[in-house]
């Protein structure tokens, strides 16, 4: 076995259960999305897609908490009991605060997404609570590298949504029913997370570094970085609903099903590599090795969409979306670029870099500004991919420079 291959196996080793669990989660989530696209049709599905895109942006707090917990535990495993207690306390308070805030802004959300249903907009606030709580629970398990326990949470994040959501859509084919199913499904991993973390650990000697305020500050910074990424990766559907006709916006949303599938396909690599990217000695190797895996998976998905567009169309939504058949490989390219961007963003979180977030926000503003000038589906796709590709090159250059110049930890001198 060659040294690069051996290093890659060491990086991803022990996370096989995560790969399988996240594959099941993504297949279930993708299946629910595909079923919703077929049963609701382009117009109603366009509304649901905007809701789900908004929910993804909102869950940056969940992912920020997860990243904070995983990074702190991986970097200082001797303080796991204190970190766990602090993280859970912050998580419960953050979930409640976010739910109240979203409830207050639901009238604005109703107008921006053109839902014509205040109840549907208000329901987003309820759904956000279990999503946020799961973030803190998953981060603790990820930092401790308890891959099997974390796998349970990921499976329960997708399968219940598929079962409950599909049943509700079959009963009442509306975006409201689909959102209710999403919320009910999100409660399952929270219950499992509580059970898996019910044990009591020896608190040991407390550290000021893991106090309540410092954890809140880091979680807020992490959430800001992730908010920038998710705003960037989901803004195009909202732009589409404002510059394209309802039918074309629905077609664009249908194509994004493939984009999201390619984006989430290598997500297990990010989960497994993040603890390693949080340590100085493994940081560069983890980044380059995992980035190569993500690129290969994206290239394979793009080739499949280009060679078998009719098969890819089946997974997008079927005959109702035939008009975008020739564009599916472009949607796969977009998903590949986004998946590599996601990994680079987590590399920024792992090293607690702060300046790189300005590049992401700049790309978001550029996409909004340029996207609003487009009038066609192909034109919007061109703008989105171009902006994301430029950001990818910039973040990659920054990450390689920083990891190359990072100081190497030296062993303590012998007494």
Q: What is the pLDDT along the chain (415 residues), one digit of tens a residue?
A: 455 455 445 444 556 788 888 888 888 887 888 788 778 776 677 777 778 877 877 788 888 899 888 888 887 777 788 888 888 889 999 999 999 998 998 888 888 777 777 888 888 889 989 999 999 999 999 888 888 899 999 999 889 989 998 888 888 888 788 888 888 999 999 999 999 988 766 565 556 666 677 888 888 888 888 888 888 888 888 888 888 877 888 888 888 888 888 888 888 888 888 888 877 767 778 888 888 889 999 999 889 888 887 877 777 767 777 787 788 888 899 999 999 999 998 888 888 777 788 899 999 999 999 988 888 888 888 899 999 999 999 998 888 887 775 444 433 443 3
What whole-number distance in Å separates Cα of residue 316 and Cα of residue 410? Answer: 52
Joined together, the tokens standing for residue 65 give 């908490």
Kindly report the backbone phi and psi dihedral angles of residue 167, in degrees, each rounded to the nearest multiple of 5, phi listed first: -60, -40
- pLDDT score of 110: 82
- pLDDT score of 407: 46
- pLDDT score of 312: 78
- DSSP characters over 336-392: HHHHHHHHHHHHHHHTT--THHHHHHHHHHHHHHHHTT--SHHHHHHHHHHHHHHHH
What whole-number distance in Å separates Cα of residue 31 and Cα of residue 378? Answer: 26
What whole-number distance in Å separates Cα of residue 196 and Cα of residue 251? Answer: 42
- pLDDT score of 411: 38
Block residue for tokens 């989105």? 384
- Given a contact cutoff of 8 angstroms between Cβ atoms, the answer to whether 364 and 228 are in contact is yes
- pLDDT score of 278: 76
- pLDDT score of 190: 94
Joined together, the tokens standing for residue 367 give 């996409």
- Given a contact cutoff of 8 angstroms between Cβ atoms, the answer to whether 258 and 30 are in contact is no
Joined together, the tokens standing for residue 376 give 């066609």
- Given a contact cutoff of 8 angstroms between Cβ atoms, the answer to whether 286 and 277 are in contact is yes
- pLDDT score of 32: 85
SS3 percent helix, strand, coil of the chain, rounded to 5, is 85, 0, 15
Per-domain boundaries in the chain: 3-405
């Amino acid at each position: 076995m060659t040294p690069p291959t051996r290093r890659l196996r060491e990086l991803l080793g022990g996370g096989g259960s995560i790969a399988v669990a996240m594959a099941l989660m993504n297949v279930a989530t993708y299946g629910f999305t595909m079923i919703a696209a077929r049963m609701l049709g382009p117009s109603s599905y366009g509304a649901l897609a905007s809701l789900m895109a908004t929910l993804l942006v909102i869950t940056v707090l969940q992912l920020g908490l997860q990243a904070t917990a995983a990074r702190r535990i991986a970097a200082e495993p001797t303080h796991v009991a204190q970190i766990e207690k602090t993280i859970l306390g912050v998580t419960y308070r953050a979930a409640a605060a976010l739910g109240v805030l979203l409830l207050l802004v639901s009238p604005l959300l109703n107008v921006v997404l053109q839902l014509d249903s205040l109840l549907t907009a208000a329901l987003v606030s309820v759904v956000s609570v279990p999503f946020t709580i799961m973030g803190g629970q998953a981060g603790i398990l990820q930092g401790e590298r308890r891959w099997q326990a974390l796998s349970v949470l990921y499976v329960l994040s997708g399968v219940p949504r598929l079962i409950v959501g599909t049943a509700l859509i079959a009963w009442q084919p509306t975006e409201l029913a689909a959102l209710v199913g999403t919320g009910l499904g999100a409660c399952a991993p929270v219950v499992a997370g509580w059970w898996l973390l019910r044990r009591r650990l020896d608190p040991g000697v407390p550290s000021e570094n893991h106090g309540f305020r410092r954890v809140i500050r880091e979680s807020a910074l992490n959430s800001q970085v992730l908010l920038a990424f998710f705003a960037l990766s989901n803004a195009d559907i909202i732009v589409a609903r404002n510059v394209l006709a309802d039918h074309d916006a629905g077609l664009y949303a249908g194509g994004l099903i493939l984009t999201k599938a390619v984006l989430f396909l290598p997500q297990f690599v990010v989960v497994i590599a993040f603890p390693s990217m949080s340590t100085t000695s493994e940081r560069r190797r983890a980044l380059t090795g995992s980035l190569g895996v993500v690129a290969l998976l994206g290239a394979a998905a793009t080739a499949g969409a280009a060679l078998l567009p009719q098969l890819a169309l089946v997974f997008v939504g079927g005959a109702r979306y035939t008009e975008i058949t020739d564009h599916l490989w472009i949607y796969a390219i977009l998903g590949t670029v986004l998946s590599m961007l996601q990994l680079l963003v987590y590399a920024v979180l792992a090293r607690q870099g702060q300046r790189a977030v300005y590049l992401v926000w700049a790309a978001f503003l550029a996409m909004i500004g340029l996207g609003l000038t487009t009038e066609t589906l192909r034109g919007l796709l061109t703008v989105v991919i171009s902006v994301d590709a430029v950001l990818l090159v910039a973040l990659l250059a920054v990450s390689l420079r920083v990891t190359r110049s990072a100081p190497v930890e030296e062993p303590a001198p012998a007494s």
